[in-house]
Structures are given as structure tokens and as C-alpha cells.
């Protein structure tokens, strides 16, 4: 031990030699030359016997992995179920626990002007949460756009979008016999129903999120049944961006205004209306419309991005696919 310490201090041995990467470039070159023997390894990899044993190990690992996953899931579920059995009965002993809920139920209509207490709760009492929640969807849309939208970089290297672009011409649903016909009948009903859910959110179950989802589904059906090109005539990228931006900006500022006024004890001058009428619930209706627009555009955006990598015709994909055709599989490496 003493000997080792002395030799370390004098610089003869380095106990950390294997631990830290202290190699120089020459060392690396030498390593690279050594790697030629790796060809041997490659040859071995193709050997059926070796492959078989590798496969066996892999299978064993997969079995163990599966067993561990199942056991941990089951034990977690058991623990959670046990915890639930320990929870107090609803509203049984502790009056504090139901204080908030009962206030929502008793005074909700009076204070928010909305018959649908859920709408009143999420858009008035706890509006800050919903302000965040409506931006969650937008965030998801932006992330999908980053991942899937075709850009110059993708056009340069892109193997990923090769398939997306092709699939649109591969199987065009608008040439189908059934879908356009059914679409023509269903579409007005779906859109109308969506608008009804959206506008009536303060009076009956529904509101921005659910109504927007229905309208978005209608838009998806439209572009599937009548072709992307028909949809491109009015659902351009610019329009979609504009709708999203205006709705979200309106939402943020309207809610910011209400928070500001409420916190500073000022009158916000937003009429509550008679509960039950279509124009009631103060800000709930305009906010529902804004959320509905964002949700529907986002739904359509997801569909469009997943199907062909763009919203609207912002990519000149005629020329893109012709360029591809010239060099089939030229850069298809992954």
C-alpha cells in the first residue's frame, strides 16, 4: 500500500488509468487500427450458432423483463387499492373536506351565471388552471409540428417524410365509393352538433373542449372524404395559425383582465346574464368559443401533420415528390 502510494506520488503509476479517458489522438488512431480485428467479430455475428445463443439470451431477458414488469404493476395496483380502502368516506366525518364542493354546488349558478356548474367551475372559479390547460393542447400541436412538418432540412436528408408524402397519393380516400357519400350526409350534422355543444356549454354538459373535438372530427372527416386538396382551399396554414393565435391571445388577455380586475377589487363590467339563456355566464361563452376554435384546429392539424407532414399547402410537395422520383431510394438510409 505504502509502495503504491509512493509510486503514485512520484508519478510512476496512475491508479485512475483505466477509469478516466486520458488517451491522445495517436492512441485513438492505434485503437482504430486495432478495430480491424472487429471484422472477425462481424463474421462471428453471422454464424448461426452464435446467433442462436444470442437469441436465447435475448428471449431469456425478455421473459425476465416481462415478469418484473407484471410483478411491479400488480404490486403497485395492490398498494394503491389498499390505499383507497383507507380513504375516508365521502363527506362522512370531516366537514372541511366538503366545504369547497358544497359552495360550488350551492352558489355556483348565482356567482358565475352558468347553469352547468362544471363550466362555471373550470372557467370562472378555477380559470387559471384552465388557462394553462388550453395551452397544453397548443403545446402538443407545436411539438408535433416540430417533429413532423416537412422543412428544407427534411427535404435535404429526409427519409422520414418520404413515406408520409407518398401515402397521400397511395390511397386517396376521396375516390372511395362510400366515404364521400356518407360524409356528405353526416358532415352538416356533425358540425351543427359540435357548434351546439360549443355554444351551449354554460347551460348543459359540453363546452369548448368537447365541442371543439366534435368540430375537429368533422373537419377531419371533410378532408378525408373530399381529399386534402379540397380542404386546402380554405384550411391553409396561415388561417390555422391565425385562428390559433387570435383565440389563445384573446383567451390569455380576457382571463388576464378578469384576474386583474378581480384581484384589485375593481368591477369588470361583464354582465352575468340570466342563468339558462344562451348569452349568460359572463365570459364563459366567448372563452368556450376560443377554446373550441383552438381545439378543432389542433385536431385537424394533428391529422394533417400525421397524414402528410404539413397543414395546408405550405410545402410545394409536387416538386418534392418529383425530386424524390428522380432518385428513388437514393438517400433512404436511416
Q: Least Å distance between CB 212 and other proteins?
A: 16
Match 471484422 to its residue by C-alpha cell: 39
Shortest distance, position 239 Cβ to other proteins, whole Å: 12
Least separation in angstroms between CB 14 and other proteins: 11
Which is nearer to other proteins, 209 or 222 (by Cβ)? 209
Q: Closest CB to other proteins among 233 and 333? A: 333
Cβ atoms 15, 8 nearer than 8 A: yes
Please list the alpha-helical segments (H only) found in the chain: 2-9, 25-34, 38-45, 48-86, 99-112, 117-120, 127-148, 152-157, 160-170, 179-199, 208-226, 228-232, 237-263, 284-308, 317-326
236 contributes a contact to other proteins by CB under 8 A: no
Q: Which of residues 11-30 bind other proteins (CB under 8 A)?
A: 16, 19-29
Closer to other proteins at the Cβ: 177 or 263? 263
Taking a C-beta distance cutoff of 8 angstroms, is the pair 223, 230 a contact? Answer: yes
Question: Among all chains, which residue has been given the C-alpha cell 462471428?
Answer: 44
Residue from 113, 119, 149, 221 in contact with other proteins (CB under 8 A): 149
Q: Measure Cα distances from 205 to 120, 198, 202, 239 in Å.
A: 11, 10, 8, 29
Residue number, 151 or 232, with CB nearest to other proteins = 151
User: Please, what is the minimum distance in Å from the beta carbon of residue 292 to other proteins?
Assistant: 16
Using alpha carbons only, how large is the chain's radius of gyration in Å? 31
Half-sphere CA count of 181, side-chain side, radius 13 A: 3
Q: Are 115 and 204 in contact (CB under 8 A)?
A: yes
The correct pick among 48, 263, 269, 333 for binding other proteins (CB under 8 A) is 263
Does residue 313 belong to the site contacting other proteins (CB under 8 A)? Answer: no
Q: How many other C-beta atoms are found inside a 10 Å radius of the C-beta of residue 224?
A: 19
- What is the smallest separation between the CB atom of 328 and other proteins, expressed in angstroms? 22
Q: Does 140 bind other proteins (CB under 8 A)?
A: yes
Residues numbered 77-106 forming contacts with other proteins, rule: CB under 8 A: 79-80, 83, 86-88, 94, 96-101, 103-104
Interface characters, 184-223, with other proteins (x: CB under 8 A)? ----------------------------------------
Nearer to other proteins, 121 or 214 (CB): 121
Helix, strand or coil for residue 147?
Answer: helix
Q: Are 186 and 221 in contact, with CB atoms under 8 Å apart?
A: yes
Burial bucket for residue 9 (CB in 10 Å: 0-12, 13-18, 19+): exposed
Choose the stretch contacting other proteins; rule: CB under 8 A; options: 145-153, 166-174, 226-234, 295-303.
145-153
271 lies in the site for other proteins, by CB under 8 A: no
Which 158-177 positions form the footprint of other proteins (CB under 8 A)? none
Distance CA 138, CA 140 (A): 5
> Taking CB under 8 A as the criterion, which residues in 112-131 touch other proteins?
124-129, 131
Residue 259 binding other proteins, by CB under 8 A:
yes
* Nearest one of 108, 140, 102, 103 to 121, comparing CA atoms: 108
- Considering beta carbons, is residue 49 or 156 the nearer one to other proteins? 156
Q: Which stretch binds other proteins (CB under 8 A): 5-13, 44-52, 199-207, 263-271?
A: 263-271
Among 138, 300, 302, 317, binds other proteins (CB under 8 A): 138
Cβ-based nearer residue to other proteins, 37 or 264? 264
DSSP structure string for 108-129: HHHHH--SSHHHHIIIIITHHH
Amino acid at each position: 500500500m505504502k509502495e503504491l502510494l509512493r509510486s503514485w506520488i512520484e508519478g510512476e503509476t496512475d491508479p485512475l488509468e483505466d477509469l478516466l479517458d486520458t488517451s491522445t489522438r495517436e492512441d485513438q488512431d492505434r485503437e482504430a487500427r486495432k478495430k480491424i480485428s472487429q471484422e472477425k467479430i462481424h463474421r462471428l455475428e453471422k454464424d448461426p450458432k452464435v446467433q442462436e445463443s444470442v437469441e436465447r439470451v435475448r428471449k431469456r431477458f425478455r421473459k425476465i423483463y416481462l415478469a418484473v414488469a407484471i410483478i411491479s404493476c400488480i404490486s403497485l395496483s395492490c398498494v394503491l387499492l389498499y390505499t383507497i380502502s383507507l380513504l375516508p368516506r365521502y363527506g362522512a366525518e370531516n366537514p372541511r373536506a366538503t366545504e369547497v364542493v358544497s359552495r360550488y354546488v350551492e352558489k355556483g349558478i348565482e356567482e358565475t351565471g352558468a347553469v352547468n356548474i362544471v363550466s362555471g367551475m373550470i372557467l370562472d372559479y378555477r380559470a387559471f388552471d384552465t388557462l394553462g390547460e388550453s395551452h397544453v393542447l397548443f403545446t402538443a400541436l407545436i411539438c408535433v409540428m416540430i417533429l413532423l412538418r416537412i422543412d428544407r432540412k427534411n427535404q435535404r436528408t429526409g427519409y422520414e417524410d418520404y413515406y408520409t408524402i407518398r401515402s397521400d397519393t397511395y390511397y386517396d380516400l376521396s375516390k372511395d365509393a362510400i366515404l364521400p357519400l356518407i360524409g356528405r350526409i353526416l358532415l352538416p350534422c356533425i358540425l351543427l352538433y359540435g357548434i351546439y355543444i360549443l355554444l351551449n356549454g354554460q347551460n348543459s354538459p359540453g363546452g369548448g373542449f368537447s365541442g371543439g373535438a366534435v368540430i375537429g372530427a368533422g373537419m377531419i372527416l371533410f378532408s378525408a372524404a373530399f381529399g386534402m386538396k379540397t380542404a386546402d382551399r380554405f384550411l391553409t396554414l396561415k388561417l390555422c395559425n391565425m385562428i390559433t393565435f387570435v383565440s389563445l391571445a384573446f383567451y390569455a388577455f380576457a382571463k388576464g383582465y378578469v384576474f386583474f380586475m378581480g384581484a384589485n377589487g375593481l368591477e369588470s363590467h361583464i354582465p352575468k346574464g340570466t342563468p339558462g339563456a344562451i348569452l349568460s355566464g359572463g365570459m364563459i361563452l366567448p372563452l368556450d368559443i376560443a377554446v373550441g376554435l383552438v381545439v378543432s384546429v389542433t385536431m385537424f392539424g394533428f391529422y394533417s401533420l400525421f397524414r402528410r407532414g404539413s397543414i395546408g399547402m405550405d410545402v410545394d410537395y409536387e416538386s418534392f415528390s418529383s425530386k424524390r422520383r428522380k432518385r428513388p431510394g437514393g438517400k433512404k438510409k436511416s
